[in-house]
Amino acid sequence: MRELLQEPLLVSAPVNVRYLTGFESTNAAILVEPERVRLFTDFRYAERAREVEGVEFEETKRYLYSDLAERLSERVAFEADALTYANYEFLREGGVELVPRRSLVESLRAVKQSEELEAIRRATEVTNQAYERLAEEQFAGRTEKELAWRMEQLFHDLGADALAFPVDVAAGPTAASPHAVPGDRVVEESDLVLVDAGAMLEGYCSDCTRTFAVGEVSDSLRDVYEIVRRAEQAGLEAIRPGVSGRDADVAARAVIEDAGYGENFGHGLGHGVGLLVHEAPVLRLESEDVLAAGNVVTVEPGIYLSGVGGIRIEDLVVVTDDGCEVLTSFPKELVSVG
Ligand code: ZN
Ligand code: ZN
């Protein structure tokens, strides 16, 4: 972190404080200086804060930023994506000279260290097993909500610490919206059911989507599924160090566009995954990110047909020196459920 500094950096985003120090709190900040790191938090967290190694702990009042305004006097960089306007004003009125910076800690977080990769592998292994078990369940006759709760229960049974994000189950036409909320729709024979879910383990996330067929589905839906599967494969083959997030997206998108469904793939190809389920790097047309070994990203093309349904296939991969390693193991052929 110190190598990236042009001035001391005030880190406000809780996830970045946690990444740099291992310290978890909703009311903490750190100041990274060339020779030291200062950790600020209030009485409620002080006991744990004193145990953090490699930092100088300073106990603050409950209102962290009005207190910091008195403690900081020099020129300080702040996280433009994290510091609220109200807290910015506290600091400015206290005479702190503030320089906005972006993506400093995020750029470090994007390249995973080996222990982070291990946690993501474990979270993905739990996710893989949860999908295996879900595929043995009866889908027809249960609501989207019931299936979502069942998936949460499977994660719990398999040893997840938490969910990486709320489980999404979308049946039939519900899935035409990429981020639907599970509702009371009862799953019917011949529906496609999209399930997007991921476990969290040791603070790290996993992310997977599969689309299931309930019994037999129409040939036309099978054909669309096959297009998404080929697009996902093209996306995986494009992933390697030096490739831009844009070019990876284009590789998968071309398959869907060539099949005439370009308008029906309205989101990006994927995103980084780590302490947060959405982080750098980003794989989409507007992205300026360039992939590097150690990135962990999703590859998740989809086709959404209004009034009919949606199909998405999402794998989680690690960028390696010459390509990528796919962590998700659940089959990608269209799996039929009861
Ligand atoms: Zn997902
Ligand atoms: Zn995702």
pLDDT, tens digit (0-9, with 9 covering 90-100), for 209-246:
999 999 999 999 999 999 999 999 999 999 999 999 99
The pairing of strands 302-305 and 279-283 is unpaired
Ligand in closest contact with the CA of 211: 1
Tokens of 71: 């403690």
Distance 278 CA to ligand 1 centre (A): 9
Give the tens place of pLDDT for each residue, 12-23: 999 999 999 999
pLDDT at 1: 87
Radius of gyration of the chain (CA): 22
Helices (H), the chain: 14-21, 43-49, 64-71, 85-93, 104-110, 114-134, 144-157, 219-238, 245-258
Residue pLDDT, tens place only, 279-300: 999 999 999 999 999 999 999 9
What pLDDT is stored for residue 319 in this prediction?
98
pLDDT above 90 for 313: yes
Is residue 270 within 8 Å of 300, Cβ to Cβ?
yes
Decide: helix, strand or coil at residue 99: strand
Which ligand has its closest atom nearest to the C-alpha of 168?
1
Contact 295, 272 (CB under 8 A): yes
Exposed / middle / buried, residue 267 (Cβ in 10 Å: 0-12, 13-18, 19+): middle
pLDDT tens, 188-210?
999 999 999 999 999 999 999 99
Interval between CA 313 and ligand 1 midpoint (Å):
9
DSSP classification of residue 186: B
Confidence of residue 338 (pLDDT cuts 50, 70, 90): very high
Summarize pLDDT for 123-174 with one digit per residue, the tens: 999 999 999 999 999 999 999 999 999 999 999 999 999 999 999 999 999 9
Neighbours of ion ligand 1 (CB under 5 A): 196, 207, 209, 314
pTM for the structure as a whole: 0.95
**Region 306-334 average pLDDT:** 97
Distant-in-sequence, close-in-space partners of 222: CB < 8 Å, separation ≥ 6: 213, 334
